[in-house]
Each structure stands twice: as C-alpha cells, then as structure tokens.
C-alpha cells in the first residue's frame, strides 16, 4: 500500500485542528478528496488559479506516492450570481446556458495551467435528487424547518456549529445577513441558512416536497461529496474565504443528514492580493482574470508564480513578479531544449544506440549527488505540507545550473570527463528534472521544449508591442552602429529593448534575442 512505500511521512495542515498532522487515509492506499469548485457566471480570475493549482499539486503528489485518488471538484451552475448576471446581459438570457459557457471557459483555463482533470466534475443542476434527499433527511432528523416554500437549517439545533472559525472570531459577528441589513425576520435565528429557496418568477426552478425552487448554496457540496465519496472521506479543500460560512455550513448539514459524516483533513489556500495588499475578488473589481494574464504571459509562468509562495500564505500579484516567473520558466525550458539537442547531437550519436553504455560508464559523482538532492527535496518539501517554493528556488536551480555547466563543456570541447559519463550524466539529470517538473505540473503536456520557448517569446513581443521584424531591424541597426564604432548608439538600442523586456545576446558572430525582466517595478 502507498503508506508502506512512503519514506517520508506526509504532513498536511488541518484547518479543523489548526496544526500539521501526519496524513493517514481512511482506506489504505486510497484517498478521497473534494475541492469546492467555481460559480461560473463570468471569467475565472487568478484567485481561482491559486486554489486549483495548489490542490492540483496535492493531487499529483498523492498519485506520485502511489495512492489511488478519487478527486471531486464541482460546478455551482445555478446560483443568485448566475441568475443576476444573466438578467444584466439581455432579456430572458438563460442562466444555465450562461453557466455552461463559463464552465467550458474555466476548463480551458485549467487545461492551460496544466491542472489535471479531477475524477468527477459534478454540476448542481445534475444532482437535484441527491440534494433533495439530503434536505429531507435534515428535516426528518430535526435540524431543518420550512417557511413558505423555503427550507432553513436551524443553527441552534447543532451545538458544534462554529468549529472551523479562527481563534478570537465570534460567531455573533457572522450572523447571516446581519452586516448587510438583510436579516430575514421569518428565521428562528439570523444565522440560520437556506437549504432550499422557493421559486421566484422567471427564474430556474425544480419541483420538491416543499414546493418549486432551487438549492441554497451550501447544501450542494454536502450532497455531491456524499454521493461520490460517501459521508466519510479524507480531504476537503477550498479557498480560505470558504472556511466560513460555506464549509462551516457544510459540516453542520452533513452531520445533520448523517451522524457518521466525517472529513479527516480540512485544507484551505491563501488569497491572491493586489499590490496594495487587498484581496482580489470579483465583488471588489480589483482582479485579473486568468486570461488577462495568460494573454501576455505563458500559463506556465502563472503557475510557477503561484507555486513560488506556500499555498497557505497570501501572495501579492505584481507584473514584476510574473515577469520573474516567466523568466524562470524560459530558463528551465531553454536548458531542457539545449540538453535535448546535445543528447541528439553527432557527439553522442553512437552512445544513443549503445545498450551497453551503462555497463562501462557511470554518472559523475557530482551529477549523482545533485540528482539525489533534487529527489530528496521534492519528497521532503512536498511531504511538509506541500512546500513548493524551496524546491523551485534551491535544488531545481542547482540541477539546471549543473546541466548548463556540462553543456558549456561540450560547446567549448572541454570534455575532461569521458563522453560516456557526460552523456549519462546529462541524460539522468534531464530525467530527474522532468520528473520533478511533472509532479509540480510545470512539464508541458502537449508542447515540445522549443514550442514552449516560442510561445513565451510571442507573448514577450505582444507585451513589448513589437514584431519579429522590429527585432531584426533593431539587431541590424545595432550591428551597423557597432561597425561604425557608434557604441553609444549601439548601447542605446540594446537598452531600449531591455526596457521593453527584450534582451539581445551576442553568441559568436550571431545576435539572438530572448525575453527578459524589465528593469524597475514594471507596474
């Protein structure tokens, strides 16, 4: 089983207990995980990317450890926000069609970000029977009550309500609607929340024992997680903003419907904030959509940026930071491409087909040490509550640096080591780096190294508002200036391009270009 094969214990921070705990699945070798999905009424923003990239790393690492993982991530495809957005767009616009449109857009964004598809992606509109059955159980068990076609959960009937609240936060401060002056006086307690909402004219609705209507927000996740994972499963995740009231309400209604309901580990990721430290959100209007970013930066750059901060910490988004991440991804893929070309070169032509090479040569001690360190960093840092930043900033950079050192030796014909050893060392380093990138979701699934590099360069040109022809002309003008010994002019051309994020590099008699980080804050 997976637990028996893991050298390092996996520890995850449990929001419920407010401490890191050794992970132990309910069923040996198998993990059941639910992560709250999006409400698709407009384009998804980078806060969504933060959540689903974080849980994608967990998903990938659990699979890496050998677990059989059932991962469920839902779509809330009917909701007040969807209905209101549909009304704003045009008369009689179908809310379900609108949510379907943005669900598909979300899936494309996730695919671009290398987020693996979950095992199940249920939609609320396709699980009305399960939702109504759970509400009926809650009412029959004495935790719910009806008013004029609405069904509410009675918070007072559940003494343990409030377990996920952070220390020092008073339940009274979170009474539903109290802060907005929207208290429904029909409710027994202002904190009571809707399980079923009576139908309103012109809005989608479904028949139920309490009259036509639709589900409240929270009941859907309880019903769908129970349907796909049973009432007792391993991990429930989502953004920190879902801790209360959404997850708190889930706990209450799940336990009310089934006393054996239990989630072992509650996990929450931190916020994405703007440069002023304000949480990005649709309601505040200070957010960037995923497509706002990936139009100008490669999706892998956004993913790299998000992995550069621990998933539980808040991350401040800035143009300068995304440019640094883009530069890092370019360096990774340039190194991989150069290594690939070297291993396919005439220098190693015979060695590529020699099946006995491993019998006569070994990886260099330096490369062997580097490989072991990289593998150890991957396993120990991810085992420590998914600590991705250390992997990116230390062991991975060391491995890439050694690969480039070997590549420079080849270029300069400084082959103090035997060709067989250099070939094996580069081969094994590339293999290990790819394995690490794969677990982190940074290994392009459908593009070659060269294609990723070209995609990064195309976006750099778009940011700079330049074309390849513009760059070629600048290179020619600089070459002419240098020929005429107009070195100030030559330097100015180069500086002007750097200010736009384009670096010229002289390699022998040829000048090439690559994206670079613009000087200054870049905001």
pLDDT at 377: 96
pLDDT value of position 355: 73
3-state secondary structure 177-189: CHHHCCCCCCCCC
- Quote the CA–CA distance of 134 and 137 in Å, as a whole number: 5
Q: What is the mean pLDDT of the chain?
A: 92
pLDDT, average across residues 108-123: 98
pLDDT recorded at residue 419: 83
> pLDDT digits over 299-308, tens only?
999 999 999 9
Report pLDDT digits (tens) over 188-208.
999 999 999 999 998 999 999
pLDDT in the model for residue 98: 96
**DSSP letter, residue 231:** S
**pLDDT tens digit string along 477-508?**
999 999 999 999 999 999 999 999 999 999 88
pLDDT for the residue numbered 523: 44
Q: CA-to-CA distance for 412 and 501, rounded, in angstroms?
A: 29
Contact 61, 267 (CB under 8 A): no
**Is residue 190 a contact partner of residue 175, using CB atoms and an 8 Å limit?**
yes
**Per-residue pLDDT reduced to its tens digit, 48-58:** 999 999 999 99
Q: Residues near 304 by Cβ (< 8 Å), separated by ≥ 6?
A: 325, 326, 328, 329, 392, 442
- Does residue 465 have a pLDDT over 90? yes
Contact at 8 Å (CB) between 149 and 252? no
Model confidence band, residue 73 (pLDDT cutoffs 50, 70, 90) = very high
DSSP string, 37-54: ----SS--BHHHHHHHHH
* pLDDT category of residue 359 using cuts at 50, 70 and 90: low
Structure confidence at residue 393 (pLDDT): 93
Contacts of 4 (CB under 8 A, 6+ apart): none
Ramachandran category for residue 375: left, alpha or beta (phi over 0 → left; psi -120 to 50 → alpha): alpha
Q: What are the DSSP calls for 269-311, one per residue?
A: E--EE-TTSPBP-TTTT---BHHHHHTTS-HHHHHHHHHTS-T
Q: Tens digit of pLDDT for each residue in 402-434?
A: 999 999 988 877 665 578 889 999 999 999 999
Return the pLDDT at 414: 61
What per-residue confidence (pLDDT) applies to 352? 75
Tokens describing residue 514: 């690559």
β-sheet with 150-153: strand ranges across = 144-147, 150-153, 193-198, 213-215
Residues 450, 337 contacting (CB under 8 angstroms): yes
User: Can you give the pLDDT at residue 167?
Assistant: 44
> Do β-strands 144-147 and 150-153 pair in parallel, antiparallel, or remain unpaired?
antiparallel
Distance CA 13, CA 312 (A): 9
Residues forming beta bridges with residue 226, ordered by sequence position: none
Would you state the pLDDT for residue 172? Answer: 55
% of residues, the chain, pLDDT over 70: 91
* 176 pLDDT above the threshold of 50: no
Q: How many whole angstroms separate alpha carbon 165 and alpha carbon 158?
A: 15
pLDDT in tens, 260-314: 999 999 999 999 998 767 777 666 667 799 999 999 999 999 999 999 999 999 9
CATH architecture, range 27-295: 3-Layer(aba) Sandwich (3.40)
Q: How far apart are the first and last CA of the chain?
A: 50
95 pLDDT higher than 70: yes
**Lowest mean pLDDT segment, chosen from 41-45, 82-86, 251-255, 348-352:** 348-352
Whether the predicted pLDDT of 330 surpasses 70? yes
Least confident of 143-147, 214-218, 485-489, 508-512: 508-512
């Amino acid at each position: 089983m997976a637990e028996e094969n893991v050298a390092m214990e996996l520890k995850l921070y449990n929001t419920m207990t407010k401490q890191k705990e050794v992970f132990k699945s309910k069923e040996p070798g198998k993990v059941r995980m639910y992560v709250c999905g999006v409400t698709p009424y407009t384009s998804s923003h980078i806060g969504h990317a933060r959540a689903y990239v974080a849980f994608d790393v967990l998903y990938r690492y659990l699979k890496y450890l050998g677990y059989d993982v059932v991962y469920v991530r839902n779509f809330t495809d009917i909701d007040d926000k969807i209905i209101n957005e549909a009304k704003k767009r045009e008369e009689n616009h179908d809310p379900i069609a609108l949510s379907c449109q943005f669900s598909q857009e979300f899936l494309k964004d996730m695919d671009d970000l290398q987020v693996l598809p979950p095992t199940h992606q249920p939609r609320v509109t396709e699980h009305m029977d399960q939702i109504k059955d759970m509400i009926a159980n809650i009412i029959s068990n004495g935790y719910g009550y009806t008013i004029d076609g609405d069904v509410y959960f009675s918070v007072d009937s559940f003494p343990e309500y409030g377990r996920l609240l952070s220390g020092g936060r008073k339940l009274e401060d979170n009474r539903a609607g109290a802060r907005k002056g929207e208290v429904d006086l029909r409710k027994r307690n202002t904190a009571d929340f809707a399980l079923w909402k009576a139908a309103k004219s012109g809005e989608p609705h479904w028949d139920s024992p309490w009259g036509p209507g639709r589900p409240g927000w929270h009941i859907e996740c309880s019903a769908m997680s129970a349907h796909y994972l049973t009432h007792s499963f391993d991990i429930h995740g989502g953004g920190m903003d879902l801790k209360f009231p959404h997850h708190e309400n889930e706990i209450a209604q799940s336990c009310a419907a089934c006393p054996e309901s239990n989630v072992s580990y509650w996990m929450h990721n931190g916020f994405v904030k703007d440069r002023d430290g304000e949480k990005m959100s649709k309601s505040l209007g200070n957010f960037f959509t995923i497509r706002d970013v990936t139009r100008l930066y490669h999706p892998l750059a956004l993913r790299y940026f998000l992995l550069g901060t621990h998933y539980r910490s808040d991350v401040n988004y800035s143009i300068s930071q995304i440019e640094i991440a883009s530069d890092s991804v370019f360096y990774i893929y340039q190194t991989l491409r150069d290594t690939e070309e070297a291993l396919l070169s005439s220098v190693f032509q015979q060695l590529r087909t020699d099946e006995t090479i491993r019998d006569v040569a070994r990886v260099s001690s330096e490369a062997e040490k580097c490989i072991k360190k990289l593998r150890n960093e991957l396993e120990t840092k991810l085992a420590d509550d998914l600590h991705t930043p250390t992997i990116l900033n230390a062991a991975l950079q060391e491995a890439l640096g050694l690969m480039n050192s070997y590549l420079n030796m080849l270029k300069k014909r400084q082959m103090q080591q035997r060709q067989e050893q250099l070939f094996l060392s580069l081969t094994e380093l590339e293999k290990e780096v790819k394995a690490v990138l794969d677990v982190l979701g940074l290994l392009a699934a459908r593009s070659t190294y060269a294609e990723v590099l070209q995609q990064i360069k195309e976006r750099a040109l778009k940011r700079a508002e330049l074309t390849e022809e513009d760059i070629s002309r600048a290179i020619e003008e600089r070459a002419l200036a240098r020929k005429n010994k107009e070195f100030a002019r030559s330097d100015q051309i180069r500086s002007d391009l750097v200010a736009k994020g384009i670096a010229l590099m002289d390699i022998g008699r040829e000048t090439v270009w690559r994206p670079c980080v613009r000087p200054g804050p870049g905001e």
